[in-house]
Amino acid sequence: MTSLKKTLTTLSKAVLFGLILTFTFSLKANAMTIVLDPGHGGPGTSGAGALYPPYMEKSLNLAVASQIKSELEAAGIKTYMTRTGDVSLDLQQRAAYAKSVNADLLISIHFNSSGSHAYTGSEVWTSLYGSYYTTGYSLGSNILQQLSGLGLQSKGVKTKLGNSGDYYGLIRYGVAQAVPSIIVEHCFMDNAYDRSILEANGPSGIGHATATGIINYVNSVGGAGATLPKSNPIALVEGATSGGSTAGTAVAPTVKANTGTASTASSKTTAAASVGFSKDAAGNTIFTDKNGNTGTFTPAEWNKLLGNWAYTGNAEYYIRQVPLGDLNAMVGK
């Protein structure tokens, strides 16, 4: 009888150990996976991105991404990079790589510049579609909060329309692979104020702030052991703008910026005719989005939404581009 008890105890321990191992490996297999994309790359100046001596954007992007990767991995987050050297990759290759490692997030690392050297600040670009927008907005807001702590002005989380959906190719190809994708423009390296912050903190300091924002977001959705729910991919449409790089002239005005002044030329264009949403008897705004979904917003809620797009000169037009569910989330519904 004693021998039988010992045998059963041994078996029980073996089964329990097996369950623990299975659970542990399951957690590792299902852990949060992030792909960092150091923008641009390639021999010489052809893939340099923005240039402002002594800075070459492709090198800054790689240095910052490497710092982020180190900190994310230290926090237990499985992290990959689309490039670890000075190589040229097109945007489809970057998105396809993220898909190949089953990434939960694709984060493209960039720096800005302008011809006038007058623009300043940090901004994040995300998809304008449903859950991809919601994920990008939350992730981007966490990153911008940390960059603001360095003294950089937050220009907000934005979307940009192209001929057939998301304007920027990295985002468009990313969501076509069902991977939430954002572009982080850390600062304007040609602007004296932004450059002073860049030089004071170095790529490691900029990377640390960005990594902290990412980790804060990951913790808010369940931590490194969690994964994001998968959404349906956004089908690519023939004839979409190529978006071959994250620089270029927008074909439509900026849709979303929660603070600050838009740094794109599109923000200076004349806005389209006002939508003119109607009011109900209580003074609530009756809103219908582009998909035909209808809801109402109190005067306080509507004023809050109008404030997000005040810089455009025609807030209602741009609000019209955002899904109702995302607007509800922005006012706490």
Q: Provide the pLDDT for residue 237.
A: 65
Length of the chain in terms of residues written? 333
How far is it, in rounded angstroms, from Cα 83 to Cα 89? 8
How far is it, in rounded angstroms, from Cα 137 to Cα 257? 10
Angle at 322 between CA 210 and CA 183, to 5 degrees: 25
- The pLDDT tens digits for 257-289 are 333 333 333 332 333 344 678 999 999 999 988
Q: Provide the pLDDT for residue 276.
A: 76
pLDDT-based confidence at 54, cuts 50/70/90? confident
Q: Provide the pLDDT for residue 16.
A: 43
Q: Mind spelling out the 3-state secondary structure of 146-205?
A: HHHHCCCCEEEEECEEECCEECCHHHHHHHHCCCCEEEEEEEECCCHHHHHHHHHHHHHH
Cα–Cα nearest to 157, from 309, 228, 259: 259
How far is it, in rounded angstroms, from Cα 13 to Cα 291? 56
pLDDT-based confidence at 2, cuts 50/70/90? low
Beta bridge partners of 181: 106
Q: Provide the pLDDT for residue 326.
A: 72
- The pLDDT tens digits for 12-38 are 444 444 443 343 333 344 689 999 999
Q: Provide the whole-model pTM.
A: 0.68
Which of residues 333 and 308 earns the better pLDDT score? 333
How far is it, in rounded angstroms, from Cα 92 to Cα 168? 12
- The identity of residue 8, as a single letter, is L
Which of residues 299 and 45 earns the better pLDDT score? 299
- The pLDDT tens digits for 197-235 are 999 999 999 999 999 999 999 999 999 999 998 889 988
Give the chain's radius of gyration (CA, Å): 23
Q: Provide the pLDDT for residue 53.
A: 82
User: Mean pLDDT across the chain, nearest whole number?
Assistant: 81
Q: For domain 29-220, is the CATH number 3.40.630.40? A: yes
Domain ranges of the chain: 29-220, 270-330
Q: Provide the pLDDT for residue 43.
A: 84
Q: Provide the pLDDT for residue 9.
A: 52
Structure tokens at 136: 């990008």
**154-158 and 122-126 beta bridge pairing:** parallel
Contact 210, 65 (CB under 8 A): no
Q: What are phi and psi of 211, to 5 degrees?
A: -60, -40
